[in-house]
Amino acid sequence: MKLLLTDPIHAEAHAELARHAQVQTIPRGLDAAAAETWLRAHIDGADALIVRRKLPDTLLHSPHTLKAIVRHGVGLDFIPVAQATRRGIPVARTPLVNANSVAEYAVAAMLAHARGLHRYDRQVREGNWEARSRAGQETFELAGKTVGIVGYGAIGERVAQKARLGLDMRVAAHTRSPGKLPHSVQAMTLAGLFAQSDFIVLACPLTEATRNLVDAKALACATRRPLLINVARGAVVDEAALAQALSSGRLGGAVLDVFAHQPLPADSPLRGLPNVIFTPHLAGVTRESEAAMGMMAVRTALALVAGERPHNVVNPEVFG
């Protein structure tokens, strides 16, 4: 059995996979074009592919022997699912296992913003100890504040739990299924969410319906200078409109883990803004989540190659 990895996985998961199959990984250091060439050359003869980066849209047009594609993570925008389905290839993902990691990241972002940690760190480094005198006017507690969540899947639900039960915050959500929200979470339109939230967490999948969902119109509804936290996908946000909202003070700040183009381009207008914190798409990456996602991806791939039908397949219609 031969399995391909687009990127390394947790060491224990790799060892488990290597006990059952020959494992090959795209070599480190290749640029995007060279990595695509390598991948196209190796999928012919491979039984399964574990995915941690966006696949070329036409990858499955190349000769291949794939029996399964497994997303190490949740976002299916990395995989041409429709093409895989037409070719009878099951596609699976690893749901739920990194939801807690992403939710904790969102909470960390809210706390860091509320207490101005990045600003005061800079002041201490510059020798301005008296900056502490402004803390009473510049910082605030999360209790009683409202967090608005866009998308109420596993991550949105976990953010809501931590915010409401752990931090005594009010919680609202904008979702396609408002009737399924618990009584403790208020359903809102997107405009209402931006108007009434102190923090906004983007946790929705990227689909044609959510692409550029957060645009100039939505951002114009913000009235409380909220902090925008994006742990969804960069393309959910119109980044030019976001830069304008941050520059004008319409938003109090942003914590961005994902971007429309990754890595973040050197000429992005967001780079020069002091009220933005960037991280390199790591909200769901912790020791615990890496181990759990890796093992689930490996076990799913092995099960699919063996002809089993695991519950986390997203296109079960391929089984007939």
- DSSP letter string, 217-249: HHHTT--S-PEEEE-S-GGGB-HHHHHHHHHHT
270 and 123 belong to one structural domain: yes
267 and 157 belong to one structural domain: yes
In eight-state DSSP terms, residue 27 is P
* Residue type, position 17, single letter: L
The mean pLDDT value for 297-304 works out to 98
pLDDT tier, 275 (very low <50, low <70, confident <90, very high otherwise): very high
Which residues have a Cβ under 8 Å from the Cβ of 7 and sit 6 or more positions away?
25, 26, 52, 53, 72
- As a dihedral over the C-alpha atoms of residue 252, residue 214, residue 182, residue 165, rounded to 10 degrees, the angle is -30
Q: Which residue is associated with the tokens 């029996």?
A: 67
Query: 139, 123 in Cβ contact below 8 A?
Result: no
State the pLDDT at residue 129: 97
pLDDT tier, 121 (very low <50, low <70, confident <90, very high otherwise): very high
State the pLDDT at residue 320: 85
With 0-12 / 13-18 / 19 or more C-beta atoms within 10 angstroms meaning exposed / middle / buried, residue 272 is: exposed
7 and 134 belong to one structural domain: no
Q: Rounded CA gap, 158 and 174, in Å?
A: 15
Q: Rounded CA gap, 170 and 165, in Å?
A: 10
With 0-12 / 13-18 / 19 or more C-beta atoms within 10 angstroms meaning exposed / middle / buried, residue 177 is: exposed
The mean pLDDT value for 258-277 works out to 96
Share of the chain above pLDDT 70, in %: 100
The mean pLDDT value for 116-133 works out to 96
12 and 103 belong to one structural domain: no
46 and 134 belong to one structural domain: no
Q: Which residue is associated with the tokens 């480094």?
A: 125
265 and 308 belong to one structural domain: no
Residue 303 pLDDT greater than 90, yes or no: yes
Share of the chain above pLDDT 90, in %: 99
Dihedrals φ, ψ of 22, to 5°? -75, 130
Please tell me the chain's helix, strand, coil percentages from 3-state DSSP, rounded to the nearest 5.
40, 15, 45
The mean pLDDT value for 10-33 works out to 97
CA distances from 41 to 44, 46, 62, 83, 223 (A): 7, 10, 9, 19, 53
183 and 88 belong to one structural domain: no
Q: How many domains does the chain have?
A: 2
Output the six-digit token pair for 161. 């739990």
204 lies in which domain range?
99-278
118 and 169 belong to one structural domain: yes
Check which CATH number belongs to the domain holding 48 and give it. 3.40.50.720
Residue 138 pLDDT greater than 90, yes or no: yes
75 and 141 belong to one structural domain: no
pLDDT, tens digit, for every residue of 214-247? 999 999 999 999 999 999 999 999 999 999 999 9
60 and 92 belong to one structural domain: yes
104 and 89 belong to one structural domain: no
pLDDT tier, 299 (very low <50, low <70, confident <90, very high otherwise): very high
Q: Which residue is associated with the tokens 């596609």?
A: 91
12 and 144 belong to one structural domain: no
Strands 227-230 vs 185-187: parallel, antiparallel or unpaired = unpaired
